[in-house]
Amino acid sequence: MVASPHAPAFTAPRAQNALRRLEAWRLGAVIVVWSTSLFVVALWVGGGGVDALLGGGAETLNALGRLTGLVSSNLLLLLVLLMARIPLFERGFGKDGMTRMHRLTGFWSFALMLAHLALQTLGYAVAAGVDPIAQFVGFVVDYPGMLLALAGTVLVVLVTLTSIRRTRRRLRYESWHLLHLYAYLGAGLALPHQLWTGADFTASTAATWYWWGLWIAAAIAVVVYRVIVPLARSSRLRLRVSEVSPDGSDGVTVRMRGGAVHRLGARPGQFFVWRFLDGPGWTRGHPFSLSAAPTRDELTISARVVGDGTERLTALTPGTRVLIEGPYGAMTGERRSGRRMLLIGAGAGVAPLVALLEGEQYGPGEATIITRDSTPAVALRTEALAVLERERGVRHVALFGARARSGAAWLPDSHAGWNGADALRFLAADPLDYDVYVCGPPQWMAAVLRDVRAAGFPSSQVHHESFTV
C-alpha cells in the first residue's frame, strides 16, 4: 500500500501554505460572527438604548428587553447558518469548533429569548399598570406575528431541551435529529414579528436591510447547502454501494464507487452525511468518517453497529444508490507542521485515523498510532493497519481492556498507575517534531488531550475531533 496519489509530499512550505489558508478561513468566520454581533449592539445604542437603560423602571426593563431580543435574534440566525454548513464556517472552525459554537449559540439564543419575553412583558406591564400575565396575553393576541413567534419559541424550547446531554442520551439518534430540524422552523416563525413591528428592526434603512438580508441569506444557505449542493453532487457522482463486509465482531465496512469521486476534494480525516436509498427511512442522514483514503472512484466508511443507523449499514446490498453531504471536518493532513505523526484513537474513532495514515506522506518509523478497544475482537480496520505496518513502517500500539481505575484514564486497566504524559513521551521522544491527531469518545478524548498537553506537544500541532455529532 502506498500513500494516496493525490496527497502531495509533506514539506515545510506546503504545510505553512496550508496552515495560512486555514487561518484565513478561520479569520473570515470570526469576522462574520463578531461584525454581526457588534452591529446589533450598535443598533441598540443608536436607538437610544443606553439612555433608556439609565431611565429606570419600565424604561430600563424595555431597554434590556430590546437588547436581549436583538442579540437573541442575531444568534438564532447565526445558528441557522451554522446548521446550513456553509463552507466559511466549516473550514474556519472545523467539526469540533462548529459543535462548540452550535451548542453555545443555541443555548445563549434560547436564554436571551426567554429573557427578552420576560423583560418586555414586565416593562410594558409596569408602564401600563396592568398584570404581567394580562400583558403577555395582549402581546400574543393583539400584536402582528406574535402567534407565530409563540409557536416558534415553543419549537426552539423543544429543540434546546432535547439537546441537553442528559436528555439526548435517552433519545435515539434518528429521533433527536428529526426533532433538531425543528430549529429551522422555530427560527422561521420566531423572527417575522420583529421584522414587522420591532422598532430596532424598522427604525432605519440600514437596520431593515440588515435583518431582512440576514434572514433571507440564512434561508437561502439552508436550501443551497443542505439540499441543492448535496443533490447536485450526488447526481454527478452516481455513487453506489459496491461492497459490504464485516469489520471486527460488531463492525461493518461499506465501500462505494462512483464517477470522478476525486473531484469532491475529500481528504482523509473528513466525514460525510450519508443517505442510502434502500427503502423507508432513507431521508435520515447519518455522519460517518472516511475510513480509507479516497481514490478516484471509491469512498469507504466503517462503523460500530450500535443503533438503527449503523444496523442499517449491515443490510445494504451492492448497487444501492447513495446521497451525500460533504465533505466536512478539518482534521486533515493540511494541518500538519511536523514531519512525524502520532495518532491516538478509540473505538470507531480509529477509522478516520487509518484514512489519514493511508493518505499522508511519511517515512518508515515516522508515524505511530495508538488504538484503544475493549477487546481485540471488536477492533476496526485491523487488516488495513497490518498493511500499514508491513508496507509503510507504521508503529501500531494496540491497547485492550477495561478503563484504568487509576493513573491515566484513557489507558486500559492493565496499565493502571502509568503516567499518561510519560507514556506519550516514550513513544514520541521529541514532541516538537510531531503532529498529534486524536479521535474518539468525548470523555476519553479529553483525558488523552490533558496528557498530550502535559507531555509538551505544542497546541498548534494537536488536532482532534470528537466522534460525536
Residues 6+ apart with CB under 8 A from 74: 36, 37, 40, 214
Residues 193 and 146 in one domain: yes
Write down the pLDDT at residue 5: 43
205 is in which domain, residue-wise?
Answer: 22-232
Cα–Cα distance measured from residue 302 to residue 307, given in angstroms and rounded to the nearest whole number: 14
End position of a domain, from candidates 182, 204, 232: 232
Let me know if residue 78 belongs to a domain: yes
- Tell me, what DSSP letter sits at residue 310? H
Residues 272 and 216 in one domain: no
Q: Which residue has the cell 480509529?
A: 350
Residues 396 and 262 in one domain: no
Residues 247 and 188 in one domain: no
Residues 185 and 44 in one domain: yes
Residues 253 and 219 in one domain: no
Question: From the first residue on, what is the mean pLDDT of each consecutive set of 10 residues in the chain (469 residues)?
Answer: 47 64 82 86 83 86 87 83 82 76 80 86 88 82 68 71 60 58 63 62 73 84 90 93 95 94 90 91 87 95 85 93 91 86 95 96 94 94 96 95 84 87 92 94 92 93 75
Cα–Cα distance measured from residue 14 to residue 448, given in angstroms and rounded to the nearest whole number: 28
For the chain, the distance separating the N- and C-terminal CA atoms, rounded to the nearest angstrom, is 31
Write down the pLDDT at residue 469: 47
Cα–Cα distance measured from residue 47 to residue 66, given in angstroms and rounded to the nearest whole number: 10
Write down the pLDDT at residue 257: 95
If one counts the domains in the chain, the total is: 3
CATH code, domain with 265:
2.40.30.10
CATH code, domain with 105:
1.20.120
